[in-house]
Structure formats: C-alpha cells, structure tokens
Structure 1
Amino acid sequence: MPLDHYVTLGRSGLRVSPFCLGAMTFGEDLGWGSSVKESQQIIDRYIELGGNFIDTANFYTKSHSEKILGDHVGRHAARRDRLVLATKFSGNLYPGDPNGGGSSRKSILAACDNSLRRLQTDYIDLYWLHNWDVHTPIEETMAALDDLVRAGKVRYIGVSDTPAWKIAQANVTAQFRGWSAFIAMQIEYSLLERTVEQELVPLALEFGIGITPWSPLKSGVLSGKYTRNGNEKAGRGAFVEPYLNEKTFALVDVLVEIARAHETTVARVALAWVQGRPGVTSTIIGARLVAQLEDNIKALEVKLNANDLARLDALTKPTFGFPQSMQPVFPAIHNGGTTVNGVGAPLSPFVIGQGEKPY
C-alpha cells in the first residue's frame, strides 16, 4: 500500500493517507526535536511521497510546531488546500490563566483563533480535543465545537486520550442535538500498549470512529535500537527506560526474526502490525530526520502473515476479565445458538430451553 492510497477517516468522507505525519518533534524548543530546516524537509518529503495528513497541537514545542507548519505550508493556499491539517486544543500556553486551557467554550474559541493565526490558514481540517476536561460539561464542549464547524473555522472534530464512556456520551449527545460528532479517535496503540482493545477500540468499531494511533513504536522502544546489551542510550529516558525489560526484549527478539523473514526492519514490522489492526485508519509516525521518515513509510509495504500475527499475539495480547471474557458465548446467549452470519454455535447453558419462559 503506497502513502497515496487514501482512506476515509471513520465514517466521514475525509480522505487521508494511511500514515499521518506527526509534528510533535518540529522545533527544538524543548531541547530535542528537529530544526526548522529539517522540519521543512520532512514536510516536503512526506508530501512528495503522496502524504496529505499532518497532525500537530497548540502546545507542541511551545506552539512552535504550528508556526513551522504555518510558515511552510499554511501561507501557500495551493499547498495548504491539498493537505489535511489537524491540530489540538486543551493545552494551556498561558501559565496563571485558568481559562488558558481546557475545554470550556471560552478556551476553545480562543485556542482555535490562535491556532488559525499560527497555522496561517482560514480553517482547520480536523480539530482534536486533546485531553478530556473533567471540569467542563461535555455538552458545552460539543456545542462550542459545533459552532466552529458551522462558522467554517473547523471541518471535522476528533477526540484524543479520553475514556470510552465519555466519548460515547459526547457522540450520542451530538447525535440527538444535531451537532457535529467526533469522526476520529487518537489513542496510544502499539504492541506494548494494547489495553485500548478492552473498550476504546470496540467503541470506535461500533460508532464508526476512525482510529489514529500515536506512539506506535512506544517512543522508539520498538524501533530495534534498544537491546539487552544496552548500547543505545535512551534519548527520552522517562518515556523509554521503564519498558527496557525482559518482556520487551523477548518481543524484540521475535520482531527481529519476523523482520529477517520479510527482509525488512523491526520498526517496520511493529508499524505494520499497528496499521493492520481493526478500526485503524491512519497511524501517526514521527520523524526527527528525513531518512527516518522514509524508512518508516516503507512499513506500508510489509504484509504480516497469520503466523507472524499469532506469534506477536502470544507475547502481547492482554487478558481482559468479564464481560469481555464472555464474548465467545454471547452470540449463543442472544441468538439461541446462532452466531453472526448464520454460523451455528453450541447452545450455552444460559440459554432458555425450548418450552421455558423468561421471568
């Protein structure tokens, strides 16, 4: 699958690349990341390869990430209109101002105008709620976002790092009130982070919300550069070092074997696994160098077989309790021994027998 094999995001008509370019590393304001020049080269190469989906946030590298994008593509209408630019609100750039962040109407409207100014554009294609604000009623947030859509400042809205039950509440509220609903969900998802499969992924599949995973390589832990020998020093120690353990190294060993069989790299195998998960539309990949971007994009060429997936599942699949553990018998309970697509299943002992009546 090439980068220009565009797919619709969730149930919307918005077409995006299967890999989204993450711009969190654009700018060196936090002591790490890409220079302005390198960031521009990464953007150009991504577009040249057919990519059209770029993701940032209002407070990435102290808002420098948005400005880099605005200076390079936002001010050029011909380039900007061919891209799907996504940014986020919630982060507070104004210490001491209680309304400088969060998800209130006041905060959202101000954050949107500031992002539009930095991005040098009249509209944001996809506007993400970055973090759920427990202090703001979700109907206030959804109403404000709908107003931005109706005003033409935002085309679509998405949600990131929010509990499944709150996302369901938000979209059901929007549906009943005729407001814009979340079309996409941004969640951490990788071979080392699969807890999202308990509630968030099933929610996305049920509501038709496109999943855009972040940190698919677990901050580089699954890139293949970290081994038992410990030769590579972690660039972002706090994000990496807790996962440098025997469980991870055992997983990396298998990734190495699979990569060799496919004549590819560990990172590409890990990325291919994420992109192939149910519900995943576009995986967010970051890059500090152009060469790193080009290498990761080649993961779209990797096709994992059933044996590969089974080996990775055996090492990483989480165990969930009730009610997820009851899924295999639910069809029998609900359909009297008939599963989806009409395939017969043994009757569960919980099924009411012939001639019996429910209470």
Structure 2
Amino acid sequence: MQYLFFFVVGLSLVGSIASSSNSIQDFVDQLLSKYDNKLDVIEKNPLLVERIYRYYQQKYPRAEQSRDFDSTILMKHKEIFKENLKMILAHNQNPQSTFKLKLNHMSDWTDEESAAIRAKIPVEPIKTMSRIGTVQQRTLTVPDTYDWRNQTRVPNAVTPIKDQRHCGSCYAFAMVGALEKTYAQIYNASGPLSAQQLIDCSYESGCEGGSFVGTFRYIKDNGDRLNLEKDYPSTPNGAKQDKCQNSSGQVLNYNQTFALQYRQLPTNNEAYMKQTVYEQGPIYVYYNAGKREGNNTVLREASTKFDHYATGIYDVPGCPTHENMNHAMVIIGYGTENGTDYWLVKNSWGASWGDNGYIKIKRNSNMCGIATWPFYAGLF
C-alpha cells in the first residue's frame, strides 16, 4: 500500500513540477526524499520511471523524437536512463563517496554516443613532445587555494563554459581554454577563442580527436593567429566543416617581443603543476575519462561516474594513469576541501554537465592520468 500511495502521489507531482525550473536530479531527489530504499521504489514503479523519463525528454529532447517513433530505439534509451538513474541513486547514498552524481543530458546516451565525445589521443606525437620544449622545476611559494575565474591579475582569463556536442573535439576546446588567458593579457578583453577554427583548420582529425602539439603547430604556422568565437562560430552540431572558413584572427604575441610558445611540465609532478597554474595560468591536461564499451569494470565505472559528476571531489580508485587517455581539459585552479586536495577543471560538455561545467578532481594522486602529460601555452 505504501508504494501504491507513492505511485499515485508521484505521478501527480511529475505533472506539477514538469513546468518548473528545477533540474531533473532535484526533482527526483525531492520525489524520493521520504524513502530509504529509493532503488526499490524505482524498481517497483515502472510507470513512475516512464513519467520521469518523459519529463527528462522535455528537458533534453533527442533527434529520434522528431522522427517517426521507433519504439525499439526509444525503449533502449529509456532502459539506459533507468540504469543510470539507479546507479546515481546508489552512489549518492554511499556515505564514503567524496562526490555526488546527477542526471544530465547524457543520461540516456548509448555507449557509442558516449565514446564519440572522447577523443582519440595520438600516441606518437606525445612521445616526441618533450624534445620540443620543457620547463625546469622551481620552488615557489603559492597560495593554498586559487581560482582563475575570481582573480584580478588578468581579468577575463576564463571564459564561459562551451559545449563540444557529439564531437570528439575536446583537444580544440582545451587549447582555446588554455590560451584565453593569453588573449586577455594582450588585449585586456574577454574573448572566447574559436575552437571551431581548430576543428576545421588544424592538422588534427576534426571530430575524431587530436593532440596538443598538432593543434599548437597549426596556430604557430598561422602566424600565432586564432579567431574569436564570434568571428568563427561553432557549427550547430559541433561537427567539422568541409574546409577551413577563415584562417585569420587575433595575434597572440607582443609584436614578437614575447612569442607564443608552450612548455611541457614534468610528468607526475603535481606540486609543480600547482606552481604553474598560479604563476602562469590555466594548463592543458590529458585525462582518462573512462569508456563504457568492453569488459573493463574500472573504465566503465570511471566513464559512467565522470559522465554524471555533480559536485564534490572526483575520485575513482584504480583509474589508469597512462593508458587509454581519451579526453583533454583545462585546469583553472586548485584547493582543498574537507582535507582532500583537488584540481579545479574546466570541461567542454556544456554547463548542464558537472558543477556548472566544472569538476573538482582529486589532486596529488595523478587521478586518471591528469598529471601524466600537462602543458602550459603562453608568452615567453
């Protein structure tokens, strides 16, 4: 009788809250707040899950909804959504976890859709990068906490969160994120730089992935020039265009007095990474964002939990630190929370992902390879 009452009340609440501004996760948490065994409630009320998923579809409509409905495809997405909902509820009830998860625009994605936004990082360029430029370790006194979004040394060093959509172009978004402090430093202005130009024009593979070095070489060969986003906007779906549209752009140097260069930071030296973030600016990092395909349970856990990160300090024990690097992001700060050190990282999966597009990742443990291949690009 308890679940029957819940079922009736729950369905009415779904309808009443569907027009509100609450997030889908806030709604689910409110709906299940009075129940200790939330997973049991979900399992025993399939129509409730159906209504929740319909609400979810209103917030995050799929292309399939605009075509003739294929019940098999839609059923598959609904089942994926249900499994992710159960995973999130179970994780968030674990008192030992250092971070929370939430439903978002990726919660009914297939394994193939999840894999598409994870870039293929070329291995060979990485092996030769150290010969192009490295930095020497120094000892600096830096603050315990720093956030480039809130500092006044270089206003507008961090621009709003971007969305790479269904395109494996994280390498391009990470590059512009790493260079926007340099643009702000030169022009004293906020200028989101064009990731689309790098997707279309650089020596990389468009939506099939790319590397730091190949992207940086394109910028150097282009006269240290890169367009602003307003002058070279993203395509509606983030895809690569057939040809480069505009190779001009803003010059990222001080009349050759200070040239745009990059430096590879020492591998697995997070103390030096911390110094560089404070002294120089945001840094570009490769990362193992996991993968859902295959039988590797650690990679699958890392993938589903990274996809649904909400708040707290992300920590997945056993996440590989050198193999399967498939994502690129930008470290914009660092700090300590409840005794645990973290990196503050800017992602490119939209503001509905993570903590308004950002994630805190455990520091000083090379979590998922974040300290394996770090780079700084700026004026030297």
**Bigger proportion of residues as helix:** 1
Q: What TM-score results when the alignment is normalised by the length of structure 2?
A: 0.27
Q: Which has the higher contact order (CA 8 A, sep 6+)?
A: 2
